[in-house]
Amino acid sequence: MATQVQLSDDEALVLFELLSSGKLEPVMDTAEKHALGVVLASLEKQLITPFSSDYGDRLVAAKSSLVDRYGG
């Protein structure tokens, strides 16, 4: 069985940054690391923004957009 998850561009970018930053490493067990590694690999295959020269600015804008959309 496979499950698909749809994310907005902003959600995908912020999630990519979180997963690739390693910030979650200390709190994950092995199974969680594997599952999130699969999600990260999928995002790496689909996203081109992390390779843009203005990635930092785009990430800030994506985070701001999510806070505006969902609150915080």
Residue spans of the domains in the chain: they are 9-70
Answer yes or no: is pLDDT of 1 > 90.
no
Q: Which of 72, 69, 71 shows the shortest CA–CA distance to 7?
A: 69
Q: How far apart are CA 49 and CA 55, in angstroms?
A: 6
- Using one digit for the tens of pLDDT, what is the confidence trace for 7-33? 999 999 999 999 999 999 888 899 999
Which tokens belong to 66?
């999510």
How many CB atoms within 10 Å of residue 49? 15
Average pLDDT over the chain, rounded to whole?
95
In angstroms, the CA 51 to CA 58 distance is 11
Threshold 0.85, pTM exceeds = yes
Cα–Cα distance, 1 to 70 (Å, whole number):
31
